[in-house]
């Protein structure tokens, strides 16, 4: 199987897995203790959690704290609901974790448009009285990188908090500056599934969503998993040390991919984009048929969450594409462990399947 779905999830880095194993210990071994227990074994587990917290914090701006959660969806829910903001403004191309939560909390949520390249205008009108603005750093479907620093400044001028969903950018590009709240997820940066974090700027107060034992400074009750934290931390540390190597590798793959998929139309800006995301369309393409004819390649139609729903992507619709054109898109995502040869083989198979449909 050739894995080209890095926006859905990334492979677990071997170093992250190795960091997790000591904390998945059984009877008679050290390493299974509750990190909130005061005995020696518990303190050792707590120390591992704090090492991981520092490793994750190194991906994020100074001047804030990292609260571990079950993933980015929970981090986003904590940020949006916990802020207590009554009026919300979110970009039209947010992940469902932001869009649906914002709609749940504010039935009149303001949706900030994007242009045909999939970018929010840094001077977009933010309605007065808005308590929180959310714009993601890198879009999960089309990879466009948003002008979050400028937008965070604007939100601040308006007296609103700024939430940045940095799930697709964390560990790959510099952290967004100026945000008050940043959500990230381990499984998008070569860590384990089931853990994420909310970065909270110092001085920003939130109400908890989950009540109980008062862990995570009272913001997120529940016993932490030292294994998940250690895996997340090791993956984050690896992203820090491999940042430039990973970026160079992705740039090389991007250049190759653009020639391999010559003749396809790129959805979203080619420039303001994370180059590990290639979202392409072909007029008249039957994506369902293409996916079933290329079963040995893991890639997707739109996002992992939306694919299978049959609904046209809200992201491609926001770019101005018709329902019909939105349904002719595929997303190819690559990263650290993708080989040149894998990309070549996948492109040959996908192009052959598209040719068989007579659309190229």
Query: Which three-class secondary structure state does DSSP give residue 29?
Result: coil
Stretch that binds ligand PLP, among 23-31, 38-46, 47-55, 67-75 (CB under 6 A): 67-75
Q: Quote the least distance from Cβ 88 to ligand PLP, whole Å.
A: 16
Count of residues engaged in binding ligand PLP, rule: CB under 6 A: 12
168/313 with CB nearer ligand PLP: 168
At residue 92's C-alpha, the angle toward residues 265 and 270, to 5°, is 30
Give me the DSSP letters along 71-121. SHHHHHHHHHHHT--SSEEEETT--HHHHHHHHHH-TTPEEEP--TTS---
165 binds ligand PLP, rule: CB under 6 A = yes
Stretch that binds ligand PLP, among 163-171, 212-220, 222-230, 238-246 (CB under 6 A): 163-171
Q: What is the DSSP letter of 345?
A: H
73 binds ligand PLP, rule: CB under 6 A = yes
Query: Which three-class secondary structure state does DSSP give residue 306?
Result: coil
168 binds ligand PLP, rule: CB under 6 A = yes
Distances (CA, A) of 261 to 104, 124, 243, 264, 344: 40, 34, 26, 6, 10
Distances (CA, A) of 85 to 66, 77, 89, 149: 21, 12, 10, 21
Burial annotation 215-247 (CB, 10 A radius, 16+ → b, else e) = bbeebbebebbbbbbbbbbbbbbbbeebeeebe
Angstrom distance (rounded) from CA 253 to CA 123 = 33
Active-site residue 164, yes or no?
no
Q: Quote the least distance from Cβ 138 to ligand PLP, whole Å.
A: 7
Q: Which of 71, 147, 171, 226 binds ligand PLP (CB under 6 A)?
A: 71
CB nearest ligand PLP: which residue?
Answer: 71
72 binds ligand PLP, rule: CB under 6 A = yes
**Contact pattern from residue 132 through residue 151 relative to ligand PLP, giving x for each residue in contact according to CB under 6 A and a dash for the rest:** ----x---x-----------
Q: In what order do the strands lie in the sheet with 329-333?
A: 265-266, 277-281, 329-333
**Contact pattern from residue 81 through residue 100 relative to ligand PLP, giving x for each residue in contact according to CB under 6 A and a dash for the rest:** --------------x-x---
**Contact pattern from residue 172 through residue 211 relative to ligand PLP, giving x for each residue in contact according to CB under 6 A and a dash for the rest:** -------------x----------x---------------
Treating both helix axes as pointing N-terminal to C-terminal, what angle do 40-57 and 226-260 enclose, rounded to 10 degrees? 30
Stretch that binds ligand PLP, among 65-73, 213-221, 310-318, 337-345 (CB under 6 A): 65-73
33/59 with CB nearer ligand PLP: 59
Stretch that binds ligand PLP, among 15-23, 69-77, 289-297, 337-345 (CB under 6 A): 69-77
Residues in contact with ligand PLP by the rule CB under 6 A: 71-73, 95, 97, 136, 140, 165, 167-168, 185, 196
Catalytic residue positions, numbered: 305
């Amino acid at each position: 199987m050739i894995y080209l779905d890095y926006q859905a999830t990334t492979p677990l880095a071997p170093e992250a897995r190795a960091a997790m194993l000591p904390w998945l210990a059984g009877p008679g071994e050290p390493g299974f203790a509750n990190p909130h227990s005061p005995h020696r074994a518990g303190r050792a587990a707590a120390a591992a959690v704090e090492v991981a917290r520092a490793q994750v914090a190194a991906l994020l701006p100074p001047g804030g704290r990292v609260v571990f959660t079950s993933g980015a969806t929970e981090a986003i829910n904590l940020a949006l609901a916990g802020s207590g903001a009554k009026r919300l403004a979110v970009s039209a191309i947010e992940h469902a974790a932001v869009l649906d939560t914002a709609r749940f909390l504010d039935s009149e949520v303001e949706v900030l448009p994007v242009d045909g390249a999939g970018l929010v205008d840094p001077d977009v009108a933010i309605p007065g009285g808005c308590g929180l603005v959310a714009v993601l750093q890198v879009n999960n479907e089309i990879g466009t990188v948003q002008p979050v620093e400028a937008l965070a400044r604007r939100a601040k001028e308006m007296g609103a908090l700024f939430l940045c969903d940095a799930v697709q950018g964390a560990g790959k590009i510099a952290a967004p500056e100026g945000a008050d709240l940043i959500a990230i997820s381990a499984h998008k940066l070569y860590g384990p599934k089931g853990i994420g974090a909310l970065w909270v700027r110092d001085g920003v107060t939130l109400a908890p969503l989950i009540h109980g034992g008062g862990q995570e400074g009272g913001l997120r009750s529940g016993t932490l998993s030292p294994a998940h934290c250690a895996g997340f931390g090791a993956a984050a540390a690896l992203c820090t040390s491999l940042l430039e190597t990973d970026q160079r590798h992705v740039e090389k793959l991007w250049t190759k991919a653009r020639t391999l998929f010559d003749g396809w139309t790129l959805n979203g800006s080619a420039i303001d984009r994370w180059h590990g995301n290639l979202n392409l369309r072909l007029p008249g393409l039957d994506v369902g048929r293409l996916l079933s004819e290329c079963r040995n390649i893991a890639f997707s139609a739109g996002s992992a969450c939306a694919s299978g729903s049959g609904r046209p992507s809200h992201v491609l619709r926001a770019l101005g594409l018709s329902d019909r054109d939105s349904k002719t898109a595929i997303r190819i995502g690559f990263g650290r462990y993708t080989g040149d040869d894998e990309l070549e083989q996948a492109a040959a198979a996908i192009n052959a399947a598209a040719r068989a449909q007579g659309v190229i």
